[in-house]
Amino acid sequence: MSKLKITLVLKQTFCSILLIGYLNNSVFSQRVAQPTPLKKWEIGFNLSNNFAWYKQIDGAMENNGLGVGFSYGLSANYRLTPSPNYWGTLEFLVSTAPVKIKNTGKLKMNMEGVEEEFSNTEFNYKVQYVQIPICFMLKSQEIGHLKYYFKVGIAPSMALNTRLRTLSDPDIYSNSPNVTNHDPNATKNSKFDFDGGLNLDANYRFSDDINSTRLSLIYALGIEYPLAGNVKLLGGIRFDNGFTDYLTDNAYSGRHNFISLNVGVQI
């Protein structure tokens, strides 16, 4: 083989190696540059500590301190757009947010033909709800390994269990041995309603029933912190602002609100 032919073969081989190397590098670069596919769904488990109060609007009642309860349940987030910043969220929660209220006047009751007058009457409600919050969530881009979110939405609720302990002077349960609390919505417990006395005076009446349904607005702020793989740790604060009446008695009107401190995990 002549020196010229050898030179041409070497040139062709070298060019082929360069071309293969370039193509391989281009393919590899494209693979590396491909972004990680965005998830459509996120599933989480949440716990929260609730701090509740009663906002009086009408009637001789006032808030009597914070009620402390808790919530637990599942959440599902659905990405609404190609952007990872806009999500719809649906939650299923079991929530307890006790309410403490106090009558600011006097109440009367007909107790087997004898009229009793009560003062310093306190009502400590402990109600367990099923809540189904439906929210819009806005997420930030990652900032120093953290993402920040804001939620706004509504939370329809249904009472699962209702208990009330009434504290009064004299003791309302004095004629009911071994009874220290009752279900305010049970018909059989209407004997614990203040009926106004022998004359059924409306100024001294109060029916302790509560509404079994509740509707509220939700506002929440929080953070996401990546743990491992797709698992994230969540933390935040939520304001649950009730806008339906808590009590059924038409002479009284008030709202049930609570603030929650939330933690959870999400995948």
pLDDT score, position 113:
85
3-state secondary structure 57-114: EECCEEECCCEEEEEEEEEEEEECCCCCCEEEEEEEEEEECCEEEEECCCEEEEECCE
The phi and psi torsions of 224 (rounded to 5 degrees) equal -120, 135
The pLDDT value recorded for residue 209 is 96
Q: What pLDDT, in 10s, does the model give residues 85-116?
A: 999 999 999 999 999 999 999 999 988 888 99
d(CA 237, CA 216): 16
Average pLDDT value over all residues in the chain: 89
Q: Are 262 and 89 in contact (CB under 8 A)?
A: no
Q: State the average pLDDT over residues 56-75.
A: 96
Whole-angstrom distance, CA of residue 244 vs CA of residue 4: 96
135 CB-side CA count, 13 A: 28
Fold of 37-266: Porin (2.40.160)
How is 135-184 classified by DSSP, letter by letter? EEEEEPPPBTTBEEEEEEEEEEEEEEEEEEEEEEES-TTTTSTT---B-T
Q: What is the pLDDT of residue 128?
A: 97
pLDDT at 6: 47
Written as one letter, the residue type at 129 is Y
Question: Is 3 in a helix, a strand, or coil?
Answer: helix
Mean pLDDT check: name the lowest of 17-26, 167-176, 237-246.
17-26
* pLDDT value of residue 33: 42
Flag whether pLDDT at 175 surpasses 50.
Answer: yes
* Conformational region of residue 65, where left means phi above 0, alpha means psi within -120 to 50, and beta covers everything else: left
Looking at residue 17, its pLDDT comes to 47
| Beta carbons of 155 and 240 less than 8 angstroms apart | yes
For residues 68 and 17, which has the higher predicted lDDT (pLDDT)?
68
Provide the β-strand partners of residue 28: none
Cβ atoms of residues 54 and 246 within 8 Å: yes
| pLDDT at residue 21 in the model | 52
| Contact yes or no for 19/217 (Cβ under 8 A) | no
